[in-house]
Amino acid sequence: MKILVFYIVINTCLTNNSRVVGLLAQLEKISTEPTESDTARYVTSKILHLAQSQEKIRREMTAKGSTGMEVLLSTLENTKDLQTTLNILSILVELVSAGGGRRASFLVAKGGSQILLQLLMNASKESPPNEELMVQIHSILAKIGPKDKKFGVKARINGTLNITLNLVKQNLQNHRLVLPCLQLLRVYSANSVNSVSLGKNGVVELMFKTIGPFSKKNSGLMKVALDTLAALLKSKTNARRAVDRGYVQVLLTIYVDWHRHDNRHRNMLIRKGILQSLKSVTNIKLGRKAFIDANGMKILYNTSQECLAVRTLDPLVNISSLIMRKCFPKNRLPLPTIKSSFHFQLPVIPMTGPVAQLYSLPPEVDDVVDESDDNDDIDLEAENETENEDDLDQNFKNDDIETDINKLKPQQEPGRTIEELKMYEHLFPELVDDFQDYDLISKEPKPLVFEGKVRGPIVVPTAGEEAAGNSGNFRKGVVMKENVSPLGDEGDKKPSFMDLAKEDIKDNDRTLQQPLAPGFTAGMRKDYSLPLTVVTCSKACPHVAACGNVLFEGRTVQLGKLCCTGVEIEDDEDTESASSVEQVSVEVSDGPTLHDSDLYIEIVKNTKSVPEYSEVAYPDYFGHIPPPFKEPILERPYGVQRTKIAQDIERLIHQSDIIDRVVYDLDNPNYIIPEEGDILKFNSKFESGNLRKVIQIRKNEYDLILNSDINSNHYHQWFYFEVSGMRPGVAYRFNIINCEKSNSQFNYGMQPLMYSVQEALNARPWWTRVGTDICYYKNHFSRSSVAAGGQKGKSYYTITFTVNFPHKDDVCYFAYHYPYTYSTLQMHLQKLESAHNPQQIYFRRDVLCETLSGNSCPLVTITAMPESNYYEHICQFRNRPYVFLSARVHPGETNASWVMKGTLEYLMSNSPTAQSLRECYIFKIVPMLNPDGVINGNHRCSLSGEDLNRQWQSPNPDLHPTIYHAKGLLQYLAAVKRLPLVYCDYHGHSRKKNVFMYGCSIKETVWHTNNNASSCDVVEDVGYRTLPKILSHIAPAFCMSSCSFVVEKSKESTARVVVWREIGVQRSYTMESTLCGCDQGKYKGLQIGTRELEEMGAKFCVGLLRLKRLTSPLEYSLPSSLLDFENDLIESSCKVTSPTTYVLDEDEPRFLEEVDYSAESNDELDIELAESADYETSTQEEVLSDSDSSRTYLP
């Protein structure tokens, strides 16, 4: 009767509120009254009924602002009635089961974890504990535990770990109770301290009592037990305990049993759970050894191969591959030393840094591998003291971003005295030349129109003293001249530009009446009196006109072997049967070319290399023109990485199938080249070549090892080598096995490049993207801690690709990217100089300095000739702002040279736009900052063994002459108040697509530190964004969203930051060009070629012309949207996983198939990848061939 009255009261009060709100309100009133237990039981049962039947009710109870959860938890905490407790627990299970993670987090936020753990503790004191209550408590805790970052600590403090463990021990046959208990043990084990504690109390042994051979019964319990075991074995202590008790063999036996009996694959999750446990236990060295001893490699290899036919079993194949790769014994690279095969003695040995360490290593030290590389299991018990939950709460912070405002503010520092900088005066004759002896276009003065305001008096400087003599007599690091004034030392008596710059000249007319020194000749063709040397080879060749057996004076230069063999001539009516190189260049050229094969040979003779190369690679001799077809980014075939990994594992399992024959070796000059006809021949002994050793693995498979940068023990990425002796229709696999970067665009559609000499002789002289089954992955070759910067247990990476050659006995070349040698640059500069119109274009080619090995570093000056030699025109000429450009500081970034080629060709062209650009600016260009590195096939360093783009703060004139003197030019310009408007250093990027820029901004750097208050206080001219914005509108390959203007600590000694901070150039940039291709704009989905790179160089020039118009005081009307950078700031947080800073992060997602099988890894990443992968979508199944059918021909 009492309950009926209560029910009527409840229904009466629900006129305006929902039923559940009324029930909760009533529950709140009676929860503190023990006498109302019947009522509480009734109310909670009604709430449970509503929660089970209506999602709307569940949403209402967990909505923001709702007090329903607090009421339920309060009642749960205070009630002594078992049924009320069970009802509330059932309600909580309903709420969190249907709502996913959000509702579980909501329950945690209301203090649910602590209340439930305490309830578990209290319930355990009953003897015997109520089974239903224990099932409910464990079920709800297992669901909310993962959402509580402090759950592991709370459980341990409340003493609930052993309660759950003992319940399992005492009720092994009661599967209904054991199941939620195991689920909760899995959550407990996420905390390493809990995991060790449970292990000491016998949890590992208990799990092996729970799991067993194939059975159709209790598969759900088996799955949960395996998940729990895998989590427990992540602890090194538990893993060691499992190894000691022989459980690795047990796991393999159980896995094989389930694999054999699970014919319909209904228990894939159980098989996966066994593999996850094996993966956890093999994270330690003992586990890997036990796995090998138990024949685990062969077992998992055979089972995974049997799973390949069923797509749904891919997760098993991938985890098996991961375990096998991790357990694959680490091998040493088959090298005597990881130092370069070539030695160059430095004039000065640095006191500190990697080069100093390299020179200080005793000769008996094995630098290829050391014993500590295979992770020793040390500090096993250290995890007992570790609590890492707090780390999860910390927001990620990029420590590489500079946060010191004082360091960020540009502070012009002269660095060198005025007197020291006078050495650069002769490299700026355009500032003193009066052009009296030039045949200029116009002799009549025209009204002078200045494009901007002239600030202060016009200073007309005169030349300072110039050292006479032949450039060849200069020592390394000394600034030299290549063009000498025909008037000799006539200008020696005049005051120097720098002396005048220091004075406040008030009388312009008086100054202008002084006789001016004519300075250096501009636009004169240089007489290259090189000794005539013909190309030699062992046999006469009818196909290359320059080939012969003639004795000559000077250095021998040889072409490769194809000129001594037959050439397949195509049966084409339009092609002459005996086409010479000259005919080829005529036939394929669609416009003026800068390539001249004979000139190239002459230039090569004067190029100095450490190995003293005497051969010339055919692609450099013939030249390259862009192919007439598009080359799409290659789609990654499904399963390619695991297939390659399986083939690598076969090397261990079927060792008798491995040939293991050295077929090329720079370290052993006496190695015998195999004479068998079916073995490929290799060579890299030519300019920019890089290939150290080749080992034949199988009949058509070769392992290739790259050479380190000279005076270094790493930087392996750039390759350029020759292959011959191939047969058509055969798939050859090449594995470059000592790469170092953690990822590559080879995983995202990039292909290596190949040049066929047969194709070139048949009028197709171009590099093409080739290769199928391409991937880039971590291999089993160990990197020594010496080579890895002190880090232990690191591995090398493999680039693997498969190629079918089109012709028999061809000579083909492979390269990382389109090669561009130092000799090619010198040839291009000479051709530009000889072809330009001296009446229109002011062109100078000087020598900035000599490199360490005695090669000249060219310096180019380009602008428009003055209209006449009258005062107004000379003033306009001298007052043009400077633009300073540089490129190729990193030898492996050959794309930077192709962009620079586009810039140079555009600047020297006859188009009206180019002429306007020349009339706006004076261009100072150092097109190759690292000639020695380029010549000797380095990837990143100069002969000093150092990254020259990290030496700009304090360059050493003896070790870094090109940087020292390039910086000197900029310091000179700053000292004479002629600061460049723009500085840009051209680079290539190996892990991102498109072309983009890095610049420098105080405001954006501070903004990225999440210190918004500080960034609001910074006042900054946002003009640094103008040029990138312009390029994003006019250059198809340019991507503004990839640009960054953040200044990082690790980049403080790069050209971009030093020129901005010390020299004071606001628009100081690094322009990065992709090695792969574009994912936006006109070239979306295409790999980048030399045509697009050269176009980018030309578009950069057009952008400078628009920049001039936008920044001219007379035309300054800039759209606000162009400089509204606040809206362009990247909203995402700056996350970095390596010291390379966030701006170097790949713009690619991690591809699903990626597997980190390194033994040093003990994180969750590979599990997450394996679980999320399930696996690559079926659209990736198609394997694209690398035939012409995959190309789209241009009309």
CB 618 within 8 A of CB 559: yes
User: Does 1173 score more than 90 pLDDT?
Assistant: no
Q: Quick check: 732 and 726 in contact, CB under 8 A?
A: yes
Torsion of CA 1145, 1146, 1147, 1148, to 10 degrees: -140
Closest CA to 1185 of 742, 670, 634: 634
Spatial separation of the C-alpha atoms in residues 1076 and 1010, rounded to whole Å: 33
Q: How far apart are CA 354 and CA 740, in angstroms?
A: 16
What pLDDT is attached to residue 1014?
52
SS3 assignment, position 814: strand
What digits encode the pLDDT tens for the residues 78-123? Answer: 888 899 999 999 989 888 887 667 888 888 998 999 999 999 999 9
- Give Cα separations from 1079 to 993, 1035, 1038 (angstroms): 7, 14, 10
d(CA 911, CA 919): 12
Which one, of 433, 522, 625, 487, lies nearest residue 833 by Cα?
522
Banded model confidence at residue 34, pLDDT cuts 50, 70, 90: low
Burial (CB count within 10 angstroms: exposed 0-12, middle 13-18, buried 19+), residue 1071: buried
Smallest Cα–Cα separation from 653: which of 328, 334, 971, 424?
Answer: 328
274: Cβ contacts below 8 Å, ≥ 6 apart: 211, 226, 251, 254, 255, 258
Q: For residues 565 and 810, give the distance between their C-alpha atoms in angstroms, rounded to a whole number.
A: 9
Report the amino acid identity of residue 576: E
CA distance linking residue 451 with residue 1047, whole number of Å: 33
Model confidence at 1115, pLDDT cuts 50, 70, 90, reads: very low
116-120: which pairs have CB atoms within 8 A and are 24 or more residues apart? 116/76, 116/140, 116/141, 116/144, 117/141, 117/154, 117/155, 117/158, 117/160, 118/77, 118/158, 119/76, 119/77, 119/85, 120/158, 120/160, 120/163, 120/164
| 3 state DSSP class of 1006 | helix
Q: What does the alpha-carbon distance between residue 823 and residue 856 come to, in Å, rounded to a whole number?
A: 11
Distance of CA 152 to the CA centre of its chain: 37
Reported pTM = 0.78
> Is-contact 335 368, C-beta < 8 A?
yes
Taking the C-alpha atoms of residue 176 and residue 289, their distance in angstroms, rounded to an integer, is 38
For 465, other C-beta atoms within 10 Å of its C-beta total: 15
State residue 399's pLDDT score: 65
Q: What is the mean pLDDT of residues 761-784?
A: 94
At residue 290, what is the residue type? A
Residue given tokens 């397949």 in the structure block: 568
Residue type at 1191 in one-letter notation: R
For residue 503, give both structure tokens: 């004075």
Query: 1129: number of CA atoms within 13 Å, CB side?
Result: 20
Are 461 and 501 in contact by the 8 Å Cβ rule? The answer is: yes
pLDDT band at 467 (very low <50, low <70, confident <90, very high): very low
Q: Is the Cβ–Cβ distance between 990 and 940 less than 8 Å?
A: no
Polymer length of the chain:
1195
Can you read off the two tokens belonging to residue 399?
């420590």
pLDDT band at 33 (very low <50, low <70, confident <90, very high): low
Given a cut of 50, whether residue 567 has pLDDT beyond it is no
The mean per-residue pLDDT over the stretch 883-900 comes to 98
Tell me the C-alpha distance between 553 and 771, whole Å: 43
Neighbours of 217 (CB within 10 A): 8
Nearest to 1028 by CA among 1104, 941, 1129: 1104
**Alpha carbon distance 210, 224 (integer Å):** 10
Rounded to 10°, the helix 203-210/161-170 angle is 40
**What's the rounded Cα separation, in Å, for the pair 73 and 78?**
9
Q: Give the tokens for residue 926.
A: 């150092």
686-732 pLDDT, tens digit each: 999 999 999 999 999 999 999 999 999 888 999 999 999 999 999 99
Show the DSSP H helices in 784-920 as ranges. 822-835, 871-878, 894-907, 912-920
| In the predicted structure, residue 1189 carries a pLDDT above the cut 80 | no
Report which DSSP code applies to 331. Answer: B
Sign of CA dihedral 391, 394, 396, 402: negative
Instruction: Answer yes or no: are the C-beta atoms of 452 and 1114 closer than 8 Å.
Output: yes
- CA angle 949–953–955, rounded 5-degree value: 75
First to last CA, the chain: 93
Is 126 labeled as catalytic in the residue annotation? no
**Confidence at residue 352, expressed as pLDDT on a 0 to 100 scale:** 78
Residue type, 510: R
- Reference 687, options 817, 858, 821; nearest CA is 821
Q: pLDDT by residue (tens digit) across 590-637?
A: 334 789 999 999 999 999 999 999 999 999 999 999 999 999 999 988
460 vs 567, more confident:
567
Catalytic entry in 383, 466, 1072, 1094? 1072
CB 86 within 8 A of CB 48: no
Could you tell me which residues come within 8 angstroms of residue 780 by beta carbon, excluding any fewer than 6 positions away? 325, 328, 329, 330, 331, 648, 795
Q: What is the pLDDT of residue 784?
A: 84
Residue 1193: pLDDT above 90?
Answer: no
Res 390: pLDDT: 39
SS3 of residue 185 by DSSP: helix
> pLDDT of 827-854, one tens digit each?
999 999 999 999 999 999 999 999 999 9
- Give yes or no for residue 911 having a pLDDT over 90: yes
* Residue with the larger pLDDT of the pair 783 and 1180: 783
CA distance 1190 to 755: 18
Distance of CA 256 to the CA centre of its chain: 40
Tens of pLDDT along 547-561? Answer: 333 323 345 567 765
pLDDT at residue number 503:
40
**Residue spans of beta strands (DSSP E) within 953-1079:** 982-989, 995-998, 1067-1074
Burial label for 838, CB within 10 Å (0-12, 13-18, 19+), is middle
